[in-house]
Structure 1
Amino acid sequence: MDATFKIWETNRKHYLKLIESYSLEQLNKIPEGFSNNLAWNLGHIIVAQQGLVYRLSGLPTYVTEEMTNTYKNGSKPIGQTTQAEIDELKTLLFSLIEKTKEDYANGKFVTYTEYTTGTGFHLASTLEAINFNNYHEALHLGFMMNIRKFI
């Protein structure tokens, strides 16, 4: 698991560096031809990890239902993300890694509801969900790198 968590932490550092390079206005801009923005992608990877790893393990998430609804799969940005919301998302980038590592080490993940992702990955365990999460976050980092070319 050490390599999996190391990949996750490194990827999240890339997210933070990217987000800190843009103004709030730029983070909220949806370029022509896109359905979301940098801020939405940041929120999405956070709530997706919580859903894939915690919710499907039958555990409560560390994000609010409001945040989940704002950034869940199939949602789109509505209104403008505030600086306070961006700051909260930036904090969650790393605090949730630490919480997941702690919960995994303490054996909190006992059951898992199998799930097939929209990209066709069948997840049968928490470990598979954690590994898939790295793939999912890398995809969204790529989307964000594409969006930034147009803001």
Structure 2
Amino acid sequence: MDATFRIWETSRGLYKNFLDSYSLEQLNTIPAGMSNNLIWNIGHVIVSQQKLVYALSGLPMHIPDSLFENYQNGSQPDGKTSQAEVDEIKQLLLEMVEKTKVDFEAGIFKEFHPYQTKTGFYLGTWKEAMEFNNYHEGIHLGIMMSIKKFL
């Protein structure tokens, strides 16, 4: 799991760079022809990790319900994310990595409810969910690299 966690930490660092490098207006901009923005992608990867790793393990997620509602699969940004919400997302971005690592080391992930993703991946174990999470975050990082060309 060391490599999985290292990859995830690197991914989250790249997301943090977006938060540090773009203004609130830029984070909220939905370019013509696109369906989301930078901040939605970052919020979405936080929410998705919590669902994939905690909820599918039968454990509570460590994010506010409002964040889950705003960034879950099928949600769309309105381009009005507040600075306070951006700050919350920035905090959770790295905090959830540390929380998950501590929980993994403590052995709290004992069960897993298998899940078929919308893209056709079958996740049968917690480890598979973590590995898929890294793949998923890579997809959204690519989307963000496309979005930034329009800002």
**TM value normalised by structure 1:** 0.98
- Report how far residue 19 of structure 1 moved: 2.2
**Structure 2 residues without counterparts, runs of 5 or longer:** none
**Ranges of 4+ aligned residues in structure 1 off by more than 6 Å:** none
Identity of aligned residues (%): 57
2:27 is matched with which residue? 27
Which residues of 2 match residues 1-151 of structure 1 at below 5 A? Answer: 1-151=1-151
- Report how far residue 65 of structure 1 moved: 1.2
Secondary structure, counterpart of 1:119 in structure 2: coil
- Cα distance in structure 2, aligned partners of 1:32 and 1:92: 29
Secondary structure, counterpart of 1:150 in structure 2: coil
Secondary structure, counterpart of 2:73 in structure 1: coil
- Cα distance in structure 1, aligned partners of 2:22 and 2:78: 19
Matching residue's letter, 2:22:
Y
- Cα distance in structure 2, aligned partners of 1:63 and 1:92: 8
**Structure 1 residues without counterparts, runs of 5 or longer:** none
Matching residue's letter, 1:66:
S
Secondary structure, counterpart of 1:104 in structure 2: helix
Secondary structure, counterpart of 2:26 in structure 1: helix
- Report how far residue 18 of structure 1 moved: 1.9
How many residues in Structure 1 have an aligned counterpart in Structure 2?
151
Whether contact under 8 Å (2:114, 2:125) holds in the other structure is yes
Whether contact under 8 Å (2:29, 2:79) holds in the other structure is no
- Cα distance in structure 1, aligned partners of 2:78 and 2:146: 21
**TM value normalised by structure 2:** 0.98
Superposition RMSD in Å: 0.8
- Report how far residue 78 of structure 1 moved: 2.6
- Cα distance in structure 2, aligned partners of 1:57 and 1:78: 31
